[in-house]
Structure 1
Amino acid sequence: MKINGNEIRPGNIINHKDGLWRAVKCQAVKPGKGGAFNQVELKDIRVGTKLNERFRASETVERVTLEQKEYQYLYGDGDLLTFMDNETYEQIEANRSMLLDEQAPFLTDGITVTIESHEGEVLGITLPEKMAFEIAEADPVVKGQTQSSSFKPAVLENGVKILVPPHIEAGTRVVVNTMDSTYVERAKD
C-alpha cells in the first residue's frame, strides 16, 4: 500500500532501499525556509542496522503489512527454534535472533507466541507481554514489612532475577512483564 512520506508513523514497516524497515521514531519538521518533512529513524528488520531519513509529503513509500500468526513453541536446538502452527500442526523453524533479547529467558516449552512473517520469511517472534512463574528463591518474609514500598531480590524458576515486594516468598507464583523483567502482581491461579 502506497502512503505519503508524512504519513509514516512509529511501528510502520516500509519497503525502502530494497529492504524492509521498521519506523522507530518519527518527527514532523517545519523549517523556517523550505518545505516541511518527516524525519524518520528506521531500523532494518533483517539486519538491525539503523538509518535516519527525511521524507517529504510529496514522496510516496510502500507500506508493508506483516502477517501475524500464533504458534506453539516446541523446542530449541542451538540457534534454531521450532514452532508448531496450532491449526495445521505444521512445524516451522526460526533463528533465535528473531526473538527480542529481553524476552529470550522467558521462552518456555509449550508457550503460545506470535510470529510475524512477510512472504513466508519469519521476521519477528513476540512472547505474551505477561506470564506467570514460580519464585525459586527469595529472602525470607520479615514481619511488619508488608506495607513497605521497598522491594527485595528474587529468582524465578527459569533463573531470571527480579525484584518483588517483601511479602512474596519462595514457591509463590507471580506475574512478570516479559519486556522488562518486572514484577506485576501475584498470580491468581
Structure 2
Amino acid sequence: MPKIEGNEIRVGNVIEHKGRVWRVLKTEHVKPGKGGAYMQLELRDLFDGNKTNDRVRSAETLERVRLEQLPYQFLFADGDEYTFMDQDTFEQMTVTRDVIGDSAAFLTEGMQVEIEFYGETPLEVRLPETVTLTVTYAEPVVKGQTASASYKSADLENGVRVSVPPHIEEGQKVVVKTADGSYVEKVKE
C-alpha cells in the first residue's frame, strides 16, 4: 500500500491507522504555539461505522488504502439481504442492508450500482444519484396553501414517504434523490 504523510491527508482518503481502516471525514491543520504541527482528523471506521477524532503529526507516515469500485446489477431482495450480479463475470453476491443503508428502499430490479470493496469485503453500495418513481398517494391541497412555498406528503411506489410541492398529484412520476429521499422535480410527460 502507498504511504502518505500526515500533512497530505485529505477528506475522502481511506487510511489504515491503529490497526483499523478509516475514511477521513474532516481535516484541520493545527500549528500550536509550542510543539510541532499536526492534523486533527475526524474518521469513520469502514467496518463498524464508528466515528472518532484523532491527531496525526505532520511528519507521521500512514498507509493509504486503495478501494476497488466495481459495477453490479441489483437482482432481488430477500428480507435484509440483497443480491447483486457482477457485470463482467455474472457471479452473484449477497449484501446485507446495513452495508446499503437507508437508500436500500430505492433499489429496483435491474438497477446499475457501484459496490466499493476492501479486498473481498463489500463496504458500500452506491446507487444512482436520482431515481424516477410514481406517486401512489398525495395529500390533497389545502386552499390557499399554494400561495406560499409549502410542501405536502406523498407516498411513492416503493413505500417511501417524501415531501413534494402542492401541484404533484397521484399517478405522476417524480425524480427523487437516493441519498436522502428528497424531491428533485416532476417528470415531464
- Do the structures match in fold with TM over 0.5? yes
- Once the two structures are TM-superposed, the CA of residue 126 in structure 1 deviates from its matched residue by 1.3
1:17-166 superposed matches below 5 A: 17-101=18-102, 103-140=103-140, 148-166=148-166
Shift of the 142–47 alpha-carbon distance from structure 1 to 2, 3 Å rule, reads closer
Bigger shift: residues 139-148 or 149-158 = 139-148
Partner AA of 1:47 in structure 2: D
Looking at structure 2, the residues matched to 43 and 143 of structure 1 have their Cα atoms a distance apart, in angstroms, of: 47
Give the equivalent residue in structure 2 for 1:175: 175
Bigger shift: residues 144-153 or 55-64 = 144-153
SS in 1 for 2:71: strand
CA contact (8 A) 1:39 1:52 kept: yes
CA contact (8 A) 1:100 1:126 kept: no
Alignment TM-score, normalising by the size of structure 1: 0.91
User: Which consecutive segments of 4 or more residues in structure 1 shift more than 3 A?
Assistant: 140-148
CA contact (8 A) 1:141 1:168 kept: no
Looking at structure 2, the residues matched to 166 and 117 of structure 1 have their Cα atoms a distance apart, in angstroms, of: 42
- Consecutive unaligned residues of structure 2, counting only runs of 5 or more, are none
Looking at structure 2, the residues matched to 172 and 147 of structure 1 have their Cα atoms a distance apart, in angstroms, of: 22
- Once the two structures are TM-superposed, the CA of residue 88 in structure 1 deviates from its matched residue by 2.1
In percent, how many aligned pairs have the same letter?
53
Partner AA of 2:49 in structure 1: G
What's the RMSD between the two structures over aligned residues? 1.8
CA contact (8 A) 1:148 1:166 kept: no
Alignment TM-score, normalising by the size of structure 2: 0.91
Looking at structure 2, the residues matched to 145 and 52 of structure 1 have their Cα atoms a distance apart, in angstroms, of: 46
